[in-house]
Chains A and B, each alone.
Chain A
Amino acid sequence: MRRRTKKKNDRRIVIDRYRCAYCGACISVCKYNANELVETFLSINEDECNTCMTCIRVCPMKALSLEVKK
């Protein structure tokens, strides 16, 4: 696993459960090993996530987005 380069506490990846089709594409591109498909339930470990947004780019269902806290 590659080291986290930065960590921004005001950013996180949000899953739209109504859109996710639990395909696992997002997990295959995650450098930080931060996500997991638990049966058909996608979970993201925010401690590991670097919010690099690669998963957002690959999602075929547009189920992932970046949330920036104000």
Chain B
Amino acid sequence: MNYDVIVIGAGPAGSIAAKTAAEKGLNVLLVEKRQEIGVPVRCAEGVSKEAISRFVDVDRKWIAAEVKGAKVYSPDGTEVQMTEEMAGDEVGFVLERKIFDRYLAKLAGRAGADVVVKTTATGIERGKDGLKVNFRRMGEEFSEEAKIIIGADGVESRVGKWAGIDTTLKTDELEVCVQYLMTGIEFDPEYSYFWFGNEIAPGGYVWLFPKGNSTANVGIGILPKMAKLSAREYLDNFVKENYSEGEVIEMVAGGVPVKGPVKTAVADNVMLAGDAARHSDPITGGGIANAMKAGFFAGGVAAEAIEKGDYSKKMLAKYDELWKNDFGKSLHRNKILQQKLIKMDDKTLNTLAHSIAGYDLQEFSVKRLVTELIKKNPKLLWDLKKVFI
């Protein structure tokens, strides 16, 4: 079988890419290496309502909880609150990724894409007009041909490496994460929580995302370059200190790229999307919204390329342009912010928090928080002014 497009990886980027391409009439294969789409989850599951609603009709089945804002804590426990409501509605979703990811894959399938699971791509070979992708499925080797490959194969992406796009991360370009799904703990279910500090989470933060009654994702991301212990040890210390009454009913680990925008996510016949293209946000670590956008752009550009019969890097560069002009700007901005933030000691973080202690910012966004901090601390944050205001 000859495909127009083979999408490798059935996460949010891959499934939206496959759905988009299939809806435009292309012959699409969506391949997932795991036997179950959506598991194991490697995610804190928080996403803005607006980002999701752009691409799919919201289905309660994959919403675990809704939040209206965040409580952010500096190392000495100073609280800053962000609360936002849109016409009385919550602005943030905490997803049930196991169900959400399957839902997206189902949409791709319904749009006409072929979907296979428990199938690993093992390499690509270039032909005269397209690519041959080699697969392994339950020990059996086979290959499929395609004009375009969309690599949506996550943080551990290999498609980029095969195609000559170097996406290797350095130890200060990756947040390593561990997360517990905890139950029997107390928190305000209308808020997400974030704790900062070099002792708590060097180069990252601890989060709590509500998932319903007294149950929440409690997790940590740290920068290996700055850490003395493993992510799991930092999280255990935090949980022991703060939520020792709770029970851990699930444990997951993950790696989140915080590289900022890559120079290019395309090569001849190849586009990368989502974590594979290091599209996750360098400050929040959030990746779902950007991944879905990237998948949408990649699927659209694939359709154009097929129509023109041109799958060259030059043609596919249009995809680079699309994601860079969209969320590429915030990746760039937040990378600068991240570089600044990781150099701050706990005393500085406390000083910043004190300057807006007790505030409720009425908006749930990094930009709003940083803008307020710049206003109160112009000298300390002068270099952020040009990128944020």
CB within 8 Å of B: which residues of A? 1, 21-31, 33, 36-40, 54, 57-62
Closest 3 pairs between A and B when the two form their complex, measured CB to CB: A25-B255, A24-B156, A60-B231
Contact with A along B163-189 (1 / 0, CB 8 A): 000011111001011100000000000
**Across the two chains, which residue of chain A brings its CB closest to B119?**
A39
CB-CB under 8 A for A1 and B161, given A28-B156, A58-B176 = yes
Q: Which residues of A contact B253 (CB under 8 A)?
A: 21-23, 25, 60-61
Segment at the A interface, from B33-41, B106-114, B313-321: B33-41
Q: Which residues of A contact B251 (CB under 8 A)?
A: 21
Q: Contact at A39–B120, with CB atoms within 8 Å?
A: yes
CB contact between B176 and one of A1, A40, A59 (< 8 Å): that residue: A59
Q: Contact at B33–A25, with CB atoms within 8 Å?
A: no
CB within 8 Å of A: which residues of B? 33-35, 40, 42, 118, 120, 154-158, 161, 167-171, 174, 176-178, 222, 224, 230-233, 251-255, 257
A5 to chain B, nearest CB (A): 15
B32 to chain A, nearest CB (A): 10
Q: Which residues of A contact B178 (CB under 8 A)?
A: 21, 60-61
Q: Which residues of B contact A57 (CB under 8 A)?
A: 171, 224
CB contact between B177 and one of A30, A31, A36, A60 (< 8 Å): that residue: A60
Q: Contact at A40–B171, with CB atoms within 8 Å?
A: no
CA distance A26 to B156 in the complex (A): 8
CA distance A40 to B231 in the complex (A): 20
Q: Contact at A58–B224, with CB atoms within 8 Å?
A: yes
Q: Contact at B154–A59, with CB atoms within 8 Å?
A: no
Q: Which residues of B contact A26 (CB under 8 A)?
A: 255
**Across the two chains, which residue of chain B brings its CB closest to A21?**
B253
CB contact between B35 and one of A23, A28, A39 (< 8 Å): that residue: A39
Q: Contact at B157–A28, with CB atoms within 8 Å?
A: yes
Query: What are 30 A-B interface contacts by the 8 Å CB criterion?
Result: A1-B161, A21-B40, A21-B252, A22-B40, A23-B253, A24-B154, A25-B155, A25-B174, A25-B176, A28-B155, A28-B157, A28-B174, A29-B169, A29-B171, A33-B158, A33-B161, A36-B156, A37-B156, A38-B33, A39-B33, A39-B118, A39-B120, A54-B171, A58-B176, A59-B176, A60-B177, A60-B230, A60-B253, A61-B230, A61-B232
